[in-house]
Structure 1
């Protein structure tokens, strides 16, 4: 099962000609999840030829303009096709007011259900049969949350030789064992899945953290991420400014990646003061703490494979 993250915009505060505002699309086979929706989101969706029509849910970190100004366009765009499935929108208080006011002022034609759920405490906000998405608190100048998508453990690998040695021939009974069902062998013996399946294998974890001051608690929330997309807005010489505006430096983002033992961390939401060439300063400072730190760029694609 594929898990891919598409960076639709990596900028903060204001869009630049080469840098749209913060937004990441996560594709998990047929499921599409959008994290934040800054200005320019539609442009990157089009340029990447992504099937925006099937976005299942949108997760908003907070209601500052650089994270939500692309949302009305996405809602109207989705109404241009036949859609019966609901679109879920999650975010802290004010998200519902923003969406409903935008619909009213812009006279939006919406032909599908929109279900808005506001987050007031850490909780699981969205889930499927083998994954869930959880929100947790951050600390910004207004209520802000981070998100993690975590897959449940997968069954262990099926051992066909073991099954045959226990009198279970190739065929439908193998499928039952792999689905967790007991079967009866040719000699009348009850064979359980644990007899022919290896140890459970871990799923994957994706984390999205932006617009927050540094908090040690964030590392606990994103522990063991296979991919951590994390704000790294300022360099060290702007640490005071970062503290005042409740943002993080690249070094602080790297500290979270290191302490959380994340397998991969890519920074996002850069201050517009840095040109693309100057972003190397952020990267260098982050790599002094977490050597595997990376920079995101608009329309960059991250594959998130299984560890095994």
Structure 2
């Protein structure tokens, strides 16, 4: 079951010729989510072929480089005769501002748009096999990060053991794998734990938005498969990072190491580093042993299961 991340915009507050403002597109088995929508996001979606079928938009905070793309995105959807509803999730206390953006041009889209607020610790969205949780971040405005956490998967079914116990090939295999005991013709009862292994963990993706390093990010997901963290500055601007409520690449990497992240994506690079991410990568790799990268706009990656199986 694919879990695909496309980095639509990776710049800091000021866009560059190579980087659009913040936006991340996530696709999971036919369901599409968007995290932040800086100006021009709809063009990035066209450019990188994501389509516009997303059902949920998650806003980390209301700075312009994260939300000014919302009016244009909604208008593009309207022009495409969208009928499906869109739900926008935003930090607690910011619903009115998002509603204003939705109706910025004096009229609302013709399709339903619902705005809901998410406070740290709350589940912003619950789907059949995963949820998106809001967690506290430390920026200079109301803000949250989001963690997409999949449910545990069923344990592996031991067909050989089931046959040894006399379970006939067929529907009873499925019942056992669903967690139901089955009774054989001779009256023997086979319990699921005799033929089904331990539950296997799903995948997790943590997106911080703009923030100083926080303990809440550590708690957002256990050993995340991918941590997307603010890395606006390198070490040459560590005081500037603190003053503006951002992080450096090294700080993001230190947190990723403590969190047990498998991969780290450094996001929201200041325009002062336009075209030069070497310092960010060098500093992050000094403290983080996992895979670390600075995504380019349009870069896409798939998050695999830890056991390499579907």
**When the two structures are superposed, what TM-score results if normalisation uses the length of structure 1?**
0.94
Cα distance change on mapping 1:140 and 1:72 into 2, 3 Å? same
Q: Check conservation: 1:3, 1:305, Cα contact below 8 A.
A: yes
Distance 2:87 2:8 in 1: 19
Give the corresponding residue for 1:166. 165
Match status 1:127 vs 2:126: yes
In 2, are the aligned partners of 1:63 and 1:94 still within 8 Å (CA)?
no
For residues 189 and 75 of structure 2, the distance between their equivalents in structure 1, rounded to whole angstroms, comes to 57
Task: Answer yes or no: is the 8 Å Cα contact 1:168–1:186 preserved in 2.
Answer: no
8 Å CA contact retained: 2:60, 2:144 = yes
Match of 1:284 in 2: 282
Mapping for residues 1-308 of structure 1, pairs under 5 Å:
1-52=1-52, 54-81=53-80, 83-93=82-92, 95-108=94-107, 110-276=109-275, 278-291=276-289, 292-308=291-307
Aligned residues: 306
Unaligned runs of 5+ in 2: none
Instruction: Report deviation, 1:128.
Output: 1.2
C-alpha separation between the residues in 1 aligned to 2:185 and 2:89? 52
Q: 2:206–2:226: 8 Å Cα contact kept in structure 1?
A: yes
| Separation in structure 2 between the aligned mates of residue 112 and residue 187 of structure 1, nearest angstrom | 59
Point out the more displaced range, 71-80 or 237-246. 71-80
Distance 1:3 1:143, change over 3 A: same
Query: Given that residues 76 and 108 in structure 1 are in contact (C-alpha distance below 8 angstroms), is that contact kept between their aligned partners in structure 2?
Result: no
SS at match of 2:79: coil
Distance, in Å, in 2 between the alignment partners of 1:84 and 1:169 is: 48
SS of equivalent residue, structure 1 residue 273: helix
CA drift of 1:77 comes to 2.2
Contiguous gaps of at least 5 residues in structure 1? none
Q: For 2:182 and 2:63, locate their aligned partners in 1 and report how far apart those are by CA, in whole Å.
A: 56
